[in-house]
Amino acid sequence: MNDTPKGDMIRITASDGHEFDCWLEPARGERRGGIVILQEIFGVTNQLKGVAARYAAKGYDVAIPALFDRQAPGTVVPFDKGLIGRDLMLTADLDKTMMDVDAAAKMLASRGGKVGVIGFCWGGGLALRAAQKLDIGAAVAFYGTRLPQYLDSPLKAPLQGHFGINDSHVTPEMLAEAQAYLPDFEVYTYKAGHAFANDARAAEYVADVAEQAHARTEEFFAKHLA
């Protein structure tokens, strides 16, 4: 699914002075803008770097901020050690995490063009938050979790979401509540469970669903980041 990563880890600084790692994947060919990819509970994984390469091949500079660096710098959690990542996620400060997302978005914006956000799992919920709070062009949430905690602000930017109907982390009731609160939230559901777009997790990955969701994401960004 993904092109070969060609990026590097750089250091960027949030508005409160926190300095942290950020993977930067440069755009191939004619540049179309920037995309921030927000991690699952596993950190800046090689799998996400592959996703970054996919979007870089479409002409976007892509940044993956290391959102665990405030608690455990440099941490990448193995996919079979999810409880470690869950604990880090649960103790993360939302406002400070969003400072780091904002820093990555502003870094990309300084390179020219509009910036979008794509988030997966924990990052999917943060992508929703970015559409509420940050100065971005659009956001996309792949099976975003913890949706109820974000239902306190209207959208500032267009938001698209991709969810599996068998996802135990996001019940139909949670998703319906989010859509009712955010009526412009463009939602697609699929015959899949959680993490259906993670091609490094064979038990969860659903290739045709992942491709359809990414194709819709690419169309969404082509429209809103142009």
What confidence tens digit (pLDDT) does each residue in 80-106 have?
Answer: 999 999 999 999 999 999 999 999 999
Q: Give tens-digit pLDDT for 128-175.
A: 999 999 999 999 999 999 999 999 999 999 999 999 999 999 999 999
Domain range for 116 is 8-224
Q: Whole-prediction pTM value? A: 0.98
Q: Is residue 88 part of a domain?
A: yes
Q: How many domains does the chain have?
A: 1
CA dist list (Å): 71 to 11, 144, 214 = 16, 22, 31
Per-residue confidence (pLDDT) for residue 202, from 0 to 100? 96
Taking the C-alpha atoms of residue 34 and residue 7, their distance in angstroms, rounded to an integer, is 14
CB neighbours of residue 85 within 10 Å: 23
Per-residue confidence (pLDDT) for residue 1, from 0 to 100? 46
Range 124-131 average pLDDT: 98
Range 115-132 average pLDDT: 98
Q: Give tens-digit pLDDT for 70-81.
A: 999 999 999 999
Q: Is residue 31 part of a domain?
A: yes
**What is the band of 206 on the pLDDT scale with cuts at 50, 70, 90?**
very high
Q: Is residue 61 part of a domain?
A: yes
What are 25's strand-pairing partners? Answer: 62
Q: Is residue 29 part of a domain?
A: yes
Share of the chain above pLDDT 70, in %: 99
Q: Is residue 206 part of a domain?
A: yes
Structure tokens given for 34: 């920037």
Structure tokens given for 155: 């959208």
DSSP of the chain, one letter per residue?
A: --PPP--EEEEEE-TTS-EEEEEEEPPPSS--EEEEEE--TT-S-HHHHHHHHHHHTTTEEEEEE-TTTTTSTT----TT-HHHHHHHHHTS-HHHHHHHHHHHHHHHHTTSS-EEEEEETHHHHHHHHHHHHS--SEEEEES---GGGGTTS--SS-EEEEEETT-TTS-HHHHHHHHHHSTT-EEEEES--TTTT-TT-TTT--HHHHHHHHHHHHHHHHHH--
**What is the band of 59 on the pLDDT scale with cuts at 50, 70, 90?**
very high
Range 197-223 average pLDDT: 98
Taking the C-alpha atoms of residue 23 and residue 142, their distance in angstroms, rounded to an integer, is 20
CATH of residue 164:
3.40.50.1820
Per-residue confidence (pLDDT) for residue 3, from 0 to 100? 77
Residue 7 has pLDDT above 70, yes or no: yes
Q: Is residue 2 part of a domain?
A: no
Q: Is residue 72 part of a domain?
A: yes
Range 35-64 average pLDDT: 98
Q: Is residue 1 part of a domain?
A: no
